[in-house]
Structure 1
Amino acid sequence: MVEFKAKPVPTALILLLLLAAIFRLWQKDNPVMIVSQDQDLLSDGEGGNKNYTTIYKAGKKGTGESILEFFEISEKDGFRITWSHGTNSKMKLETSLKDDTILMIEADIRMKEEIPVLAHDVSDASSSDITLREWLNEFKQITNKGIKLDIKTSDALHPSLSLLKELKPDLHVPVLLNSDILQGPNGASSAFKPAEFFEAIEHIFSEVTLSIGWTTDYKQDGDNPSYTAEMIDEMLLYCKQRTQLITFPVRASLVKNSLPELRRLLQNVPRSSLTVWHYPSDHLDVEDLLAVRNTFPKEQVFYDVPYDVVKRLEAA
């Protein structure tokens, strides 16, 4: 009788099979999200409708990561980034974190008894139900959203940066730090001194995307000036040598006559972009946004505008 002996299974093969099983378990709890042009969920990665135009799969990266790179959007188009505004309460934050159509979550920061809290206006600070620390702690286990912090006052800058530095090991999403550091069209004086603003960034926490712009206002009756050459020159003085990614927020209702100067701004600041934002009471013509879309590369402009405007722009 011939005796057969079973050959031992190679250790490498056992390890490979074990890793494959672990990956399957991970994939079950972390499906790839496939999102359509209007950000409706089409598939969870396990079949279903494949007629998508935008794919994102967020992963654990860093606070200074490019938004488009972080979400791995299949077509590099800032138009595909969606926003939650004024996420300044526990309830709104919880809702936004669960909403698959939202990619970037924005909050406004002010001080309340020497503690940074979430509040858009001065009057809101006293009744705020969530501190910045509590708000950021909610992102410790999040890998599919980004953060935008709108620092409203100069006294909130240092505490906010210090918190970001402290919590950085637990934050694996892009962070935009927004402030209006210069006076712009119809705008009031800025609450910030630009040199001190950048010094704080460099000395406390610099691993962010800078979202730096101008104070503005819109007049329903009367002239609304553009972003002038002088405003662009002043911004260039502070930004030409920056090492971080920079996006310049510009008011949608004031952008149409500013395109040549804004083009010059982006040409002279490496790794920069625009974020076109809209104030609810402003008059907004979709043709103005189409002019922006036809002037700049798609990856250089984000559109932080209402959903109905997005649909009109998409259909135009």
Structure 2
Amino acid sequence: MLATFCLLIRNETNKDLESFGAPRVRVPAAAAACPRLRPVLPLRVQRHSGTPSLLGIAVTRSPPSPGPAPPGATAAGPNPRRGGPGPGHGERGAGAALRVPAGAWSEWPVDHFLRTGHIAARDGAAVRWFHAANSRARAAEAARSDVHMVEVDVILRGGDRDPILAHPPDTDSDITLQEWLAQMGSTNKGIKLDFKSLAAVGPSLELLGQVGQCLDRPVWLNGDVLPGPCGSRAPLDARAFLGAVTSSCPDATLSLGWTTGCHRGQGYEWPVVQEMWRLCQALSQPVTFAVRAALVPGSVPQLQWLLQQCHRYSLTVWTGKEDVYSVEDLLLIRENFDKSRVYYDIFEPQNSEFKKAIGIEQ
């Protein structure tokens, strides 16, 4: 499909050339989809009967509309310079970008696993997750299972400073990230690395680069980069995290979240949702927002608005082991969002009950 742009050109007297019947300029969809493409058309408008002349008209894609402003807030438009926390897709930052199969890491799981015949419909709920494969036993179980995506928590081990798999407050593990990546490389499963410390990011991305060519499936890099409802932990430094992952892994999918506590009845308020949107404006990689299941029912308008800002955004619903939420909460989420743009990384028994309620076989 071709995206149509109206070319507005002003003459020496600041009049629009539209009044002279200036044509609409058609830009290929590939250019329209990439905000970094700024084609300069070698146009020359000759002067006829007072019509002004113009050389080298620059045609730039208009910034996406932020959608309706949330109540009581003003949504600023995207930065036209496309500046931001780090280089975008296809650019090199301070670190060398990893060489991976084109599009594999950034392909949405619904598209990848539908294309490869592992799911029957373009439905995020059909994608099965294995959460916290943070030990040798859990990693082996995940590798043998029929799940599609495997998630681990990454920290640095004290002393040798090797990236290992553990969730704070744990500080050690019987498996390193390097060992785990080698094991996952022999499977067909997508992976999600949840970074629990900024110090673990750089060494982990180096290890990821060593196996990059073997991972021809979705790769997600997660960090809680903003404070959220009742969050007690300090978030990762957003600009440092995004600078590292976008420069080293421009093809990966970014998974961004808020530090939160679980208090049913609360939600993601407009200010924190808007702040996340502003943080993501300059990014050209796919972004999934990690949202806590118990908090989503109180945040439906805010999160609907967030997804409306870009077709590259999705939600990943997660839960803590002690969280209080119901299958009805999950059904409410499903009813209010595009099912192809919401993933569910949740624990049992709610996971099985939810899949049964929506008619998806486990």
- The TM-score bracket by the shorter chain reads 0.7 to 0.9
User: Is the 2:229–2:260 contact (alpha carbons within 8 Å) kept by the matching residues of 1?
Assistant: yes
* TM-superposition CA deviations, 1:106-154 (whole Å, max 9, x none): 11100013110111124x333x1111111101123222x1101110011
User: What are structure 2's unaligned runs of at least 5 residues?
Assistant: 1-100
- Distance in 2, matches of 1:61 and 1:244, equals 11
Equivalence for 1:69: 111
* TM-superposition CA deviations, 1:6-51 (whole Å, max 9, x none): xxxxxxxxxxxxxxxxxxxxxxxxxxxxxxxxxxxxxxxxxxxxxx
Residue 160 of structure 1, CA deviation: 1.2
Find out whether 1:130 has 2:175 as its counterpart: yes
Equivalence for 1:193: 237
Moved over 6 A (4+): none
User: Is the 1:90–1:130 contact (alpha carbons within 8 Å) kept by the matching residues of 2?
Assistant: yes
Identity of aligned residues (%): 38
- Distance in 1, matches of 2:176 and 2:120, equals 35
User: Is the 1:142–1:172 contact (alpha carbons within 8 Å) kept by the matching residues of 2?
Assistant: no
* Equivalent of 2:151 in 78, 98, 106: 106
Change (3 A) 1:210 1:289: same
* Equivalent of 2:128 in 76, 82, 97: 82
- Distance in 2, matches of 1:270 and 1:239, equals 13
* Equivalent of 2:142 in 77, 88, 96: 96
What letter corresponds to residue 275 of structure 2 in structure 1? E
* TM-superposition CA deviations, 1:172-208 (whole Å, max 9, x none): 2211111110000001253311111111112222221
Q: Residue 259 of structure 1 aligns to a residue in which SS?
A: helix
Equivalence for 2:281: 240
User: Is the 1:108–1:118 contact (alpha carbons within 8 Å) kept by the matching residues of 2?
Assistant: yes
Change (3 A) 1:183 1:165: same
* Equivalent of 2:162 in 115, 120, 130: 115
Q: Residues 243-258 of structure 1: matches in 2 within 5 Å? A: 243-258=284-299
- Distance in 2, matches of 1:272 and 1:183, equals 20
Equivalence for 1:157: 201
What letter corresponds to residue 107 of structure 2 in structure 1? E
What letter corresponds to residue 206 of structure 2 in structure 1? S
- Distance in 2, matches of 1:178 and 1:192, equals 10
CA RMSD across the alignment: 1.9
Q: Residues 1-316 of structure 1: matches in 2 within 5 Å? A: 62-72=104-114, 73-100=119-146, 102-112=147-157, 113=159, 114-122=161-169, 124-126=170-172, 128-143=173-188, 145-219=189-263, 224-313=265-354, 314-315=356-357
- Distance in 1, matches of 2:171 and 2:233, equals 22
User: What are structure 1's unaligned runs of at least 5 residues?
Assistant: 1-58
* Bigger share in helix: 1
- Distance in 2, matches of 1:285 and 1:175, equals 29
User: Is the 2:255–2:289 contact (alpha carbons within 8 Å) kept by the matching residues of 1?
Assistant: yes
Change (3 A) 1:61 1:233: closer
Residue 71 of structure 1, CA deviation: 0.8
* TM-superposition CA deviations, 1:92-111 (whole Å, max 9, x none): 111111112x1111111000
Give the stretch that moved more between structures: 226-235 or 301-310.
301-310
| Larger relative contact order, structure 1 or 2 (CA cutoff 8 Å, min sep 6) | 2
User: Is the 1:249–1:275 contact (alpha carbons within 8 Å) kept by the matching residues of 2?
Assistant: yes
TM-score (norm 2): 0.66
TM-score (norm 1): 0.75
